Structure 1
Amino acid sequence: MNDVVATELRKPYVTPYAEENLDLPLAFEWQAGAPRLTYRDALPQEWMFGTLWARCGTARKGKIQWHLVHTLRQRRCMLKRLCRVCGGPATDPDTGRVWWILPTSLAGDFQSPWPTAHPPTCKAHISEALTACPYLRREIPVVCTARGYSPVAVLSNLYGLDDAGRVVETSHQIPVGLNEPHLLKRALATQLIVQITDLQRAKRA
């Protein structure tokens, strides 16, 4: 993304900053007779949906990293239906429906469930999100609202052990279903994927 344009825009809530990058002291532990990915100093709250989540700082300091997504803020937006731009509610107070921008054409199919890792966007910041987000700018976006909403997967990196017993990444940024516990145990989740249903095309704000 053009840095000159980017600096004129609000710093999106889900976009990370350089000083929020943290070391990830990954290790494997045995749980119920099977290896599970962990941190050497893991805390109980670092697991959710049966998988370990990537650590992030929350200071919002340093150079903004426009092409990345802050793991914890993305997950918070997904679970609480918050706007990716401002962090406020993305639910329309008049209809109870959640505003969303999908990064690819639905080809007219609004009947099927639609999985996405992109958080919702409140009505007031749809135009700004379309301008600022490099992912949305790559394809023709669809502005819509949704009623149904449920977590179904995580975008994650998978890890294993090499011949020397070191933790190594084996797959990068792949979706792992919440119904795949054998994969969740060796996954480091970076984004929550939700399935949205009852979609309706909407006019841009």
Structure 2
Amino acid sequence: MSAVLTYKGHTVPHITAWSSEHLKQPPVVRSAGGVTFADIAFAGFPHRDSAGVLWQPWALRQGDGMPEFGRVHGPRQRRAMRRRLCQVCGGPADENEQGTLWLLENHVTAPGWPEREVTTHPPVCASCVPLVRSQCPHMQDAVTVRVGRAAVDGIYGLLYAAGLGGPVPGEAKVVFAGDPRVKWMVGAQLAATLCNVTVVDRPEPVTEEPVVRAGAHR
């Protein structure tokens, strides 16, 4: 477990956004085959990554201002997903012979779950599991799993459609690599498909119907 930030006695997860990190997003305009930002030189930040994904802009000022527990900082979330870092402390996630430690929202009634679960929640280290359970209301009955292989193959973001006056925002969802709709999206977070999943701790099944998860909401 690495050092964690706190605010007024509460642990601030590594991927939580801080109030000083907001950047005003430039207008979304039509481009060849999709969308782009109107100001291509906005604040010196590159808009697209090497895969051509257009990302929502963020400043990097972790710890400055007030934490926004309901918002995820896109760049830190993506780094945690790619490098298998703990979503709470930012240190290496726990690993053993069964794979990487992950906490998943309890959807045990879904057929085949949790194999091939798609999530935007990064993994965790063992020391931070109690913190996630205690501070995140929707993770209090979370299922602890080990993941043998996590394919970071999806982008969660806001999809746009062509309109007479320009691109029209639609719904936020996960689109997978190779899908042409990626060019019509402003990405916010990475999503991973979890394979070779072993359940470590399974709470009592929930009674409500499983819902479609689209993003990491805290």
Same fold per superposition (TM over 0.5): yes
Q: 2:40 — aligned with what?
A: 41
The structural deviation recorded for 1:103 is 0.9
Q: 1:132 — aligned with what?
A: 135
The count of residues paired between Structure 1 and Structure 2 equals 191
Unaligned runs of 5+ in 2: 1-6, 203-218
Aligned residue identity for 2:92 = P
Which stretch of structure 1 is more off in the superposition, 77-86 or 192-201?
Answer: 192-201
Q: Which digits, 9 at most, give the CA deviation of each residue in 1:159-187, with x for residues without a partner?
A: 2454334x54222x212122312x11110
Aligned residue identity for 1:195 = T
Q: Which digits, 9 at most, give the CA deviation of each residue in 1:38-89, with x for residues without a partner?
A: 3512555633543211111111211111111111111111110000000010
The structural deviation recorded for 1:96 is 6.7
Does the 8 Å CA contact 2:40/2:47 hold for their aligned counterparts? no
Say if 1:24 and 1:64 are closer, same or farther in 2 by CA, change over 3 A: same
Give the TM-score taking structure 2 as reference length. Answer: 0.77
Per the alignment, in what secondary structure is the counterpart of residue 78 of structure 1?
A: helix
Aligned residue identity for 2:185 = A
Give the TM-score taking structure 1 as reference length. Answer: 0.81
CA distance in 2, matches of 1:104, 1:111: 9
RMSD over aligned Cα atoms: 2.5
Does the 8 Å CA contact 1:67/1:134 hold for their aligned counterparts? no
Picking from 69, 73, 76, the partner of 2:76 is 73
Which stretch of structure 1 is more off in the superposition, 188-197 or 103-112?
Answer: 103-112
Per the alignment, in what secondary structure is the counterpart of residue 175 of structure 2?
A: strand
Q: 1:102 — aligned with what?
A: 104
Q: 1:194 — aligned with what?
A: 192
The structural deviation recorded for 1:11 is 1.1
Per the alignment, in what secondary structure is the counterpart of residue 89 of structure 1?
A: coil
Say if 1:187 and 1:132 are closer, same or farther in 2 by CA, change over 3 A: same
Does the 8 Å CA contact 2:145/2:199 hold for their aligned counterparts? yes
Q: 2:215 — aligned with what?
A: none
Does the 8 Å CA contact 1:110/1:198 hold for their aligned counterparts? no
CA distance in 2, matches of 1:114, 1:202: 15
CA distance in 1, matches of 2:198, 2:151: 17
